[in-house]
Structures are given as structure tokens and as C-alpha cells.
Amino acid sequence: MGVGQQRGHLLKLFGVHVDQAFGHIPYQVGSSLTEKRGWRDVDVRLMLPDDEYAAYFGDFPQRLVIWNLAWTALGCDMTGLPIDFQFQDHTHTNEEYPGVRSALVLTTDDLPLVNVKGAT
């Protein structure tokens, strides 16, 4: 990932917040994932099951724009990166964008080791 170690950790933390809000893991996609240099933004996508996507945004296209902007702003603020966040539906996304995806999750390997005084 070309965003650097510290910003990469913050990006994963942002992903945890998205997952907690929607119950689905977001993915980093695009050039910031595959290139060390030359990318202009960090593409983050939350692929919702088609029925959930339709329930959230089907009859309200402006809601999609507003929610994309809101989560983009939060991601930019949390990470200091130029985030481009978008909600997408599974079927269309899998058909149109079959590229590389990286799940934005934190694992125990991402957590710092803590030395607690007096611990055995």
C-alpha cells in the first residue's frame, strides 16, 4: 500500500468505523493500493448487498451523494489522506470492477505491544 505505515494504520481504523456502522467491511481499491507513487486519492469502497443498497439509496439518489460525501469527509479527517469513499452494490461492482481489493480491518498484528508495569 502506497499510503505509508502510519496512514495505513489510520486507514484501517477508519475501515473499522465503517464496518461498525454498516456491518460490512470496506475495501481500499485503485492506484493507492497498487502504486507506491503517482496516486492522487485513496479509493475506499463499501460494497453492500444489493437489497441493502436499494433500501438505503434506491429511491433517494441524493442520499447516496450526501452519504458518500459525509464518509469521505470523515475518512479524510481521520487519516489525513485524500479519501474518495463510495457506497456500491455487490452485483454491479463485481461485474464492472473486478480489480484488486484490500479489506480495511485491524488485526492483532496491527496493534502495538503494551508493556504493563507489574504484569506477569
Q: Show me where the domains of the chain are located.
A: 5-106
Residue type, 113: L
pLDDT digits (tens, 9 = 90+) for 71-88: 999 999 999 999 999 999
* pTM of the entire predicted model: 0.86
> What local confidence, expressed as pLDDT, does residue 24 receive?
97
Q: Please tell me the number of Cα atoms within 13 Å of 68 on its side-chain side.
A: 17
pLDDT of 14 over the 80 cut? yes
pLDDT digits (tens, 9 = 90+) for 23-62: 999 999 999 988 888 899 999 999 999 999 999 998 888 9
The structural architecture, per CATH, of the domain 5-106 is 2-Layer Sandwich (3.30)
Q: How far apart are CA 114 and CA 107, in angstroms?
A: 15
pLDDT of 91 over the 70 cut? yes
